[in-house]
Amino acid sequence: MKIKSIYVPKEELTLVNSTDKVQDVLNHFEDTGIFSLPVVKGDELIGTIYKEKLYRVLMDQQDGAAYRNQEIDFSLVVKTKRFTTLESPVELAAKEFVDNQLTFIPVKGEDGSFAGIVTHKAIFKYLVDLFGITEDKIVVYIENMSGQLAKVLEVFKKLNVNIKKIVAEDAKVLNLYRLIIQPDKDLGKVRQALKNEGFRIED
């Protein structure tokens, strides 16, 4: 799947403009309940401003009212260094979140301009859909050796059951792989047939 299928377009985002007053930004944080917001100058994304950091600076001000009426301090804006594109695979964005502890990933459009963001929520939803966590599934453990997957698929063929979704992952134990399979029908029958063939099925 591509980023363009899961990203949030900038038109749907709450954005902080470079000329916004501090109070405007505080209002955005309170209205949305989120902890970081993209900061833009025109159509260009400058970086991210964080609620915690802004409130911490506000508390250090001798004249809080005056500070609230100032334009935002660009020293509070964390410059954006990483972008993804509309045509990038979702898996690469997921790795970016893991490797760099990002709150969101900005997305560039075809012309290179700021198009929107990818959020944690979108990535998690994609992974839930991919693994079929919320749907009926069979989890099969197979040895990491030639022909094992073919044997699993042969069971489905004999029963005339199609596979709607299949994901393989390293079980990280005893040289096993974990197959997460979603049949289109006869879940119990397939499960029993796999057990009869000697495969270990996760309860």
- One domain, residues 173 and 139: yes
Tell which of 70, 104, 128 closes a domain. Answer: 128
pLDDT band at 196 (very low <50, low <70, confident <90, very high): very high
pLDDT band at 27 (very low <50, low <70, confident <90, very high): very high
Cβ burial 80-104 (10 Å sphere, 16+ → b, else e): beebbbeebebeebbebbeeeebbb
- One domain, residues 78 and 145: no
| Residue (of 13, 70, 72, 75) closest to 38 by Cα position | 13
Integer Cα distance of 179 and 71 in angstroms:
54
- One domain, residues 37 and 101: yes
Q: Does position 114 have pLDDT exceeding 80, yes or no?
A: yes
pLDDT band at 9 (very low <50, low <70, confident <90, very high): very high
The pLDDT assigned to 134 comes to: 66
Count up the domains in the chain and report the number: 2
Q: Does position 55 have pLDDT exceeding 90, yes or no?
A: yes
Average pLDDT along the chain: 91
Tell which of 128, 146, 177 closes a domain. Answer: 128
Tell which of 97, 128, 159 closes a domain. Answer: 128
Integer Cα distance of 49 and 3 in angstroms:
23
For residue 155, the enclosing domain spans 134-201
- One domain, residues 110 and 144: no
The pLDDT assigned to 133 comes to: 64
The pLDDT assigned to 132 comes to: 67
- One domain, residues 178 and 95: no
Which whole number is the average pLDDT over 4-30? 94
- One domain, residues 144 and 66: no
- One domain, residues 19 and 96: yes
- One domain, residues 189 and 158: yes
- One domain, residues 114 and 165: no
Integer Cα distance of 98 and 189 in angstroms:
38
